[in-house]
Amino acid sequence: MAKKLRITQIGSAIGRQFDQKGTLKALGIRKLNSTVVKDDTPQIRGMIRKIRHLLVVEEIEEEKITSPVKKQEKVTTAKKGKSQKSKGKNVKETVKKKDKGKSNETK
């Protein structure tokens, strides 16, 4: 079985040298506490060694890797067959109408 590395960023890239930020980007790490799984190659090990103070690295086997769960899109149903966009416009129009009515009442 091929070995893999689970790489997690634990240190901030703010104030780091440009080459260290580039190494994080090359590893595919975008945010603090984000995790990527990479093959265990000398190239990846070299990148890890360069920014080891920002990372936590775990060796794992290929069988133990779980695929990330994709976020499900929210499905909402519009009432009376109207789309969400048109519904939003209607709400804005009624708010404007209410605002006009309130301004007349206060005069």
Identify whether residues 59 and 97 lie together within a single domain: no
pLDDT tens digits for range 54-98:
999 999 987 665 656 555 555 555 555 555 555 555 555 555 555
Identify whether residues 17 and 54 lie together within a single domain: yes
Identify whether residues 92 and 41 lie together within a single domain: no
Q: What is the pLDDT of residue 88?
A: 52
Q: Is residue 69 part of a domain?
A: no
Q: What is the pLDDT of residue 70?
A: 55
The two tokens of residue 17 are 């040298």
The answer to whether the Cα torsion of 19, 23, 25, 26 is positive or negative is positive
pLDDT tens digits for range 20-63:
999 999 999 999 999 999 999 999 999 999 999 999 999 998 76
Identify whether residues 59 and 25 lie together within a single domain: yes
Q: What is the pLDDT of residue 38?
A: 95
Q: What CATH number did the domain enclosing 42 receive?
A: 3.30.1390.20
Identify whether residues 8 and 56 lie together within a single domain: yes
Domain around 9? 3-64
Strands (E), the chain: 3-9, 35-39, 55-61
Please state the pTM of the whole predicted model.
0.57
